């Protein structure tokens, strides 16, 4: 019986925690991690690992065949800020890898696909407050365009070929296990590291830039939640809006000051400000809540407490 899960891009910020969680749930042998590079010790030592270029169809197919994979989580992608530096490379990675996995599902070589979308699908013309599920989408970044296009292809493969693909639009994700790589929302992770290391942080977004964010445990629960849902409950096959908390840099600084009273934040916005300015401030995720029972748990202060507690040992000698 085919029954393994393959995670492509397992060593990134989401992939690392997703792999560990799925291994705890289904058993180490059942979850195959793959990435272009090796990952954390916890990931490398807890089960199968294969080096994999997500754009190499033959290599992906070979892994699926060898490990009897029936479910793929495609987490490999170039994020918003870094994709602006390498547009062609980002487009190639983000789109080619998706087409390969969708085609493998169409050919019934796998049964189920998870592919992450993002708040980056929205743009300057989108209503920014409580952004609805269905609204104007004119993304201005390479990353956003790739995610919006990907969403349409997911819906298309589902409607035309019956592919069981599921997706959510992640907000900015905050975690301590693996650092994010090249996103616009990454300041909300960096700030905790700097607070512990230097007691101060120079923010690359300006004061007042409110963005939707989420603690990683919530994001992982949402991911597993939508994959667990019965097929008929997943009514949207592009991607679901998903909301956790929304805050601006001053608010996260205030939350940190409850633990580190002298913490100081200053502002030096760079090119990422222009990206953040086109993204929503808050998200209406009622469809996800209604269709497959999504509920977030962590607010800003709960997240701050966990982040500081877990990062502290790294900076205490």
DSSP string, 88-135: HHHHIIIIIHHHHHHHHHHTTS-SEEE--EEGGG--TTS--SSB-SSS
> Which residue ranges make up the site for ligand SER (CB under 6 A)?
79-80, 118-120, 143, 170, 172, 183-185
Helix or strand or coil: residue 168? strand
Assigned token pair, 88: 């062609």
13 phi and psi angles, rounded to 5 deg: -60, -45
CB of 286 to ligand SER, least distance (A): 21
CB of 86 to ligand SER, least distance (A): 14
CB of 211 to ligand SER, least distance (A): 9
Catalytic option among 67, 73, 143, 215: 143
CB of 145 to ligand SER, least distance (A): 13
Q: Please identify, using beta-carbon distances, which residue of 31 and 242 lies nearer to ligand SER.
A: 242
What residue has token string 């599902």?
105
CA 223 to CA 118: how far, in whole Å?
13
Q: Please identify, using beta-carbon distances, which residue of 15 and 47 lies nearer to ligand SER.
A: 15
CA 162 to CA 115: how far, in whole Å?
16
Q: Please identify, using beta-carbon distances, which residue of 33 and 120 lies nearer to ligand SER.
A: 120
Chain residue at closest Cβ approach to ligand SER: 183
Q: Are 215 and 175 in contact (CB under 8 A)?
A: yes
CA quadruple 166, 172, 174, 178: dihedral, nearest 10: 70
Q: Please identify, using beta-carbon distances, which residue of 71 and 118 lies nearer to ligand SER.
A: 118
CB of 79 to ligand SER, least distance (A): 4
143 in active site? yes
Q: Please identify, using beta-carbon distances, which residue of 4 and 272 lies nearer to ligand SER.
A: 272
Q: With 0-12 CB in 10 A as exposed, 13-18 as middle and 19+ as buried, what is 316?
A: exposed
Q: Which residues are catalytic?
A: 143
């Amino acid at each position: 019986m085919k029954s393994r899960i393959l995670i492509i891009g397992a060593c990134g910020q989401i992939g690392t925690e997703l792999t560990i969680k799925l291994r705890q749930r289904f058993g180490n042998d059942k979850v195959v991690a793959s990435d272009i590079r090796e990952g954390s010790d916890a990931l490398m030592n807890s089960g199968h690992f294969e080096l994999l270029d997500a754009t190499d169809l033959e290599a992906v197919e070979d892994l699926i065949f060898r490990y009897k994979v029936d479910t793929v989580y495609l987490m490999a992608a170039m994020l918003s800020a870094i994709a602006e530096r390498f547009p062609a490379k980002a487009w190639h990675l983000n789109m080619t890898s998706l087409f390969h996995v969708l085609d493998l599902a169409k050919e019934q070589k796998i049964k189920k696909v998870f592919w992450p979308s993002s708040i980056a699908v929205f743009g300057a013309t989108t209503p920014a407050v409580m952004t609805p599920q269905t609204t104007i989408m004119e993304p201005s970044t390479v990353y956003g365009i790739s995610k919006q296009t990907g969403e349409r292809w997911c819906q298309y493969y589902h409607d035309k070929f019956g592919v069981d693909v599921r997706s959510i639009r992640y907000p900015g994700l905050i975690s301590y296990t693996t650092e994010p790589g090249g996103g616009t929302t990454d300041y909300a992770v960096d700030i905790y590291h700097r607070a512990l290391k230097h007691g101060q942080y120079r923010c690359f977004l300006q004061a007042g830039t409110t963005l939707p964010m989420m603690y990683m445990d919530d994001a992982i629960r949402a991911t597993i939640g939508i994959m667990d849902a019965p097929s008929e409950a997943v009514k949207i096959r592009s991607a679901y809006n998903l909301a956790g908390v929304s805050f601006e840099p001053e608010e996260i600084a205030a939350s940190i000051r409850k633990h580190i009273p002298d913490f100081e934040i200053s502002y030096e916005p760079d090119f990422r400000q222009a990206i953040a300015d086109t993204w929503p401030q808050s998200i209406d995720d009622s469809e996800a809540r209604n269709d497959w029972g999504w509920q977030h748990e962590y607010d800003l202060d709960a997240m701050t407490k966990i982040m500081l507690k877990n990062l502290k040992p790294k900076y205490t000698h």
